[in-house]
Amino acid sequence: MNVLLAGATGLVGSAYAAQWQGPGTLHLLVRRSVAPGAPLQQVHVVDFAALPALPQCGTGDAAVCALGTTIGVAGSQAAFRAVDFDAVLAFARAAFAAGARKLAVVSALGADRKSPSFYSRTKGEMEVAVAGLGYDSVIVARPSLLTGDRSALAQPARTGERLAQWLAVPFGPLLPRAVRPIAAATVARALHRALLQAEPGLRILDSATLQVLGSPP
């Protein structure tokens, strides 16, 4: 299975790349050049604002989108939407044009196109948009607060994720799976396993389901 991955330098995307074992090639679509993590990976520097064409990647069987930011990191609602809606939708369209018929995308807990929260509403609108592109299978992950080491990725820490790290050890086992902080590596495993299962239609993976589906082997 050849996979096109957007967001390979983030928490979930880098975890997905680190776990890749093939068979097939993992194409890493990035804004800046990075070294491939394994022989079965190829790096492609792209301008997500200039998609949908991805001629350099050839044909992909599946696409994984782990693009995402926060309003605080982006600096404004408009800048946030440019990443979490516009870039995600552009990548999904480009991957479909490149032959992908299975799509897995990272959304967020509480995503709802009718939400009064701009963040949650944008995520919900993104989900509706990608579900309407014609993919045979669309997998939407809605993780709770992510845990992982952003400093190792040369990225600024996020307030919510710092809270998740602090809560994870003493309180994590006591919290319901639906809201428990979740490791980025767990989300990445769940996405890949869901792609391999290839159930037709739209499949929403809430954080509790991600915890189970993405548990270590």
The predicted-structure confidence for 153-182, as pLDDT tens digits, reads as follows: 555 565 665 665 666 555 556 666 777 889
What is the pLDDT, as a whole number, of residue 14? 92
In the predicted structure, residue 66 carries a pLDDT above the cut 90: yes
Total count of residues recorded for the chain: 217
Q: How many domains does the chain have?
A: 1
User: What's the CA gap between 3 and 23, in Å, rounded?
Assistant: 10
Domain interval for residue 145: 3-213
In the predicted structure, residue 152 carries a pLDDT above the cut 60: no
The predicted-structure confidence for 109-150, as pLDDT tens digits, reads as follows: 999 999 999 999 999 999 999 999 999 999 999 999 888 765
Give, as one character, the DSSP assignment of residue 35.
-
Location of structure tokens 């995600």 = 88
What is the pTM (predicted TM-score) of this model? 0.86
What is the pLDDT, as a whole number, of residue 185? 95
Q: Are 202 and 138 in contact (CB under 8 A)?
A: yes
The long-range contacts involving 36-43, CB below 8 angstroms and separated by at least 24 positions, are 41/17
Mean pLDDT of the chain: 86
User: What's the CA gap between 142 and 162, in Å, rounded?
Assistant: 19
As beta bridge partners, residue 204 has 140
For residue 30, give the amino acid letter: V
Q: What is the CATH number of the domain that holds 193?
A: 3.40.50.720
Calculated CA dihedral for residues 119, 124, 127, 133, nearest 10 degrees: -110
C-alpha of 122 from chain center: 15
User: What's the CA gap between 42 and 32, in Å, rounded?
Assistant: 13
The predicted-structure confidence for 69-118, as pLDDT tens digits, reads as follows: 988 889 999 999 999 999 999 999 999 988 899 999 999 999 999 999 99
